[in-house]
Amino acid sequence: MDDFGDYLQAVVVEMESGDMSKPLRDCAPVVRQSIRDNFNSSADPENNDWVERKYVGDGHPLLIDTGKMMQAATGGGPGAVFRTGQRDLELGIDLDIVPYARRHNYGDQDDGMPKREFIGAKEEHLVECETIIADHAEQFFTR
Helix (H, G, I), strand (E, B) or coil at 49: strand
Q: What pLDDT is recorded for position 124?
A: 96
Mark the ranges of the chain whose per-residue pLDDT is less than 70.
Answer: 1-4, 7-8, 10-15, 17, 140-143
**Cα–chain center distance at 97:** 19
Q: What pLDDT is recorded for position 14?
A: 66
Helix (H, G, I), strand (E, B) or coil at 43: strand
Q: pTM, whole model, 2 decimals?
A: 0.84
Q: What pLDDT is recorded for position 8?
A: 67
Whether 81 and 92 have beta carbons less than 8 Å apart is answered as yes
